[in-house]
Each structure stands twice: as structure tokens, then as C-alpha cells.
């Protein structure tokens, strides 16, 4: 199973940006931990990070052609991007929305996800473990549908 992981804007600053919210792990460490978890579960991950909306859309479309499933952390675009929502709805692979923080425990503008209606599930609030939990759920979903 090939799983694509797309990290959205500002996630390249993990470890230095608001560690009280996002934790102290760097994105490199998050990706390494996710790759190990995937290997332990018989899968592989390809991770990328993009600050621009268009680059995220390109990556989603690429995932739709080359991966079995998608873990997507759209970052701040979660609350604003109809275009990212449309890209997710245009692909046929299952997508899990990931967030490090509990968006409902933060500012009110973060309570709404434009992506939520087109993903299979959402995992949020567990820090970097949100990715691993999302991976486990996605792989279970993929195995049960095959």
C-alpha cells in the first residue's frame, strides 16, 4: 500500500512555531516516525510539504493517480480553500484529514473545515500521533475494501 502524506502551509516550521500548540517535533521527525509506522504495518509513505494552495492541489491530484490513500493536513487552508476541497473530491482514493491540534479548542474560525465533507475521516488533537492514528485507520479502511 502506497500512502501519500501532504502537509500544508507552515508545517515546515514544526518544532519552532508555537510549540505549546504544535509540539517540539520537527517535520522531518514526524515524517521519519510515520515512515517507520508505515513500514511496520506493511505500507510505505511519500511525504511532502507545500505552503502554496496550488502546489497542494497538484500534490492531491498526483496522489489520486499514484497512491492508494491520502493523509492530508491542509493547515490553515482547511478553513478557507474550496479549491483544495474540490481537489479532494475529484480523486477516488480515500483521504483522511489530519490536524496536530484540536481545532475546536482554538479560535472560532478554526472550528469549520471545508474539507470535512469530502474525507473519509478526521483525526485531530493528538499532536504528531494524529498522523499515525490516521495512517492506521486509513490502512484498515483500505484493507477492508479490497
Q: Which residues are catalytic?
A: 22, 99
Could you give the strand order of the β-sheet that contains 2-7, starting from the edge strand earlier in sequence? 44-49, 2-7, 69-73, 95-99, 121-124
Q: What is the DSSP letter of 115?
A: S
Task: Name 71's bridge partners.
Answer: 5, 96
Helix (H) or strand (E) holding 95, with range, is strand 95-99
Three-state SS annotation for 3-58: EEEEECCCHHHCCCCCHHHHCCCCHHHHHHHHHHHHHHCCCEEEEEECCCHHHHHH
Amino acid at each position: 500500500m502506497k500512502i501519500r502524506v501532504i502537509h500544508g502551509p507552515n508545517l515546515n516550521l514544526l518544532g519552532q512555531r508555537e510549540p505549546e500548540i504544535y509540539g517540539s517535533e520537527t517535520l522531518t521527525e514526524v515524517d521519519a516516525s510515520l515512515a517507520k509506522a508505515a513500514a511496520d504495518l506493511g505500507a510505505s509513505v511519500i511525504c511532502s510539504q507545500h505552503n502554496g494552495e496550488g502546489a497542494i492541489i497538484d500534490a492531491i491530484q498526483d496522489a489520486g493517480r499514484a497512491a492508494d490513500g491520502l493523509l492530508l493536513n491542509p493547515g490553515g487552508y482547511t478553513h478557507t480553500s474550496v479549491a483544495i476541497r474540490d481537489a479532494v473530491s475529484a480523486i477516488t482514493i480515500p483521504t483522511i484529514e489530519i490536524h496536530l491540534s484540536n481545532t475546536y479548542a482554538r479560535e472560532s474560525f478554526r472550528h469549520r473545515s471545508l474539507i470535512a465533507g469530502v474525507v473519509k475521516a478526521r483525526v485531530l488533537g493528538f499532536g504528531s500521533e494524529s498522523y499515525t492514528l490516521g495512517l492506521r485507520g486509513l490502512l484498515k479502511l483500505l484493507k477492508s475494501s479490497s
